[in-house]
Chain A
Amino acid sequence: MSTASAHHPKLQHHFVSMDQQFDASKLGMWLFLITEILLFSGMFVAYTVYRVWHPEVFEALSGALDWRLGGVNTLVLLASSFTVAASIHHIQNDNRKGLVRNVILTIIFAGVFMFIKYLEYSGKFSHGVFPGEAYAPFGDHYGHYADVPYAPQFFSIYFVMTGIHGVHVLVGMGIFAWLAFRGARGDFSSEYYTPVELSGLYWHLVDIIWIFLFPLLYLI
């Protein structure tokens, strides 16, 4: 990215250079990321407020979530973050095959994450553990949570937090499918890979949110 790229076909007319365009996009993306952080902050605040009010409930109910599934999902998401970072590393070295391979791996990891998420959700739904008013647990594993006060709040917060996070994962899968397509078509090079960089930043943020959700909901 130097003066040689001044006439790059991807340079929009209102920018002076590819560098300026890249920096601008990246700053825009970081600003977008903090809006995402603040969006999630509302749920973290709700979590903290209810946890401060009813610490024993939250401690007990974290046992209702399976830390093994949550743990595996954490590792899966970390792996996907790694493949994203690797894909950017590859395209910076003009390795388009490496880029596409890692992007596809990312989609697969995200799919695994969502599949495990699906198992968790359906396991709860089948035992009457729903968010909100529909909450009516039964069965061996969940039945004894039926009369715990504020248990509905815990599960509501759990479903809302992981649900919105899951939506972000799905959106990310869509974005990476599009990146894989464009990467395979040869749109990207070391001179222009802004969409890869920005999508990567987004994906890492989704990972970071999960890094906090996992211990807060499953472990403590």
Chain B
Amino acid sequence: MRTLVGVFSGLIVLTILTVVTSRIDLGILNVPLALTIAIGKASLVVLFFMALKWDNRVNGIVLLLGVLFVSIFLIFTLFDTAFRGDLSNVDDTTIMDMEREMTGGDAAADHSEDGSAAAPADH
């Protein structure tokens, strides 16, 4: 019971800490700090309130497995979204435009016709 009270007090202190630090502008450290505190709080809850510290090891492995796969989900999605549009060979000129340039001449007449079809390509 004493441990539980201790952990509870720790959680309250950390909550106040995260609120206080968020009021101060720490630049790029804002997000990492808030997340670190959150992870600390979550670990306290898991280890003591959920008693994983004294529990069967399998249950801990199960939890870590869950956390691992959430990270995989997040990181591999970010591989795409954080680098979206890095295909260097994609530019605003379409192949049809290039062909027109090469053949030259009657481009103007073609263009008015294909204008709508080419539009989605340049975004």
Contact = CB atoms under 8 A, between A and B. Distances in A.
- A–B proximity contact (CB within 8 A): yes
Interface of A: 23, 26-27, 30-31, 33-34, 37-38, 41-42, 44-45, 48-49, 52-53, 67, 71, 74-75, 78-79, 81-82, 84-86, 89, 200-201, 204, 207-208, 211-212, 214-216, 219-220
Contact of A33 (B30, B31, B63, B74): B63
Contacts of A31: 62
A207 B74 contact: no
Top 10 nearest A-B pairs (CB, nearest first) are A34-B66, A219-B22, A215-B34, A41-B70, A82-B8, A85-B49, A30-B59, A30-B62, A37-B66, A49-B81
Chain A residues touching B, majority SS = helix
Chain B residues touching A, majority SS = helix
Given A34-B63, A81-B49, A215 B70 contact: no
28 contacts: A30-B58, A31-B62, A33-B63, A37-B66, A38-B69, A41-B69, A41-B70, A45-B74, A48-B78, A49-B77, A52-B78, A52-B81, A67-B22, A75-B15, A78-B11, A81-B49, A82-B4, A85-B48, A201-B50, A204-B49, A207-B45, A211-B42, A211-B45, A216-B34, A219-B18, A219-B22, A220-B30, A220-B31
A206 to B, nearest CB: 11
Q: How large is the interface on B (under 10, 10 to 19, 20 to 34, 35 or more residues)?
A: 35 or more
Contacts of A215: 18, 22, 34-35, 37-38
Contacts of B62: 27, 30-31, 34
Contacts of A78: 8, 11-12, 15
Contacts of A38: 66, 69-70, 73
Contact of A212 (B4, B42, B50, B63): B42
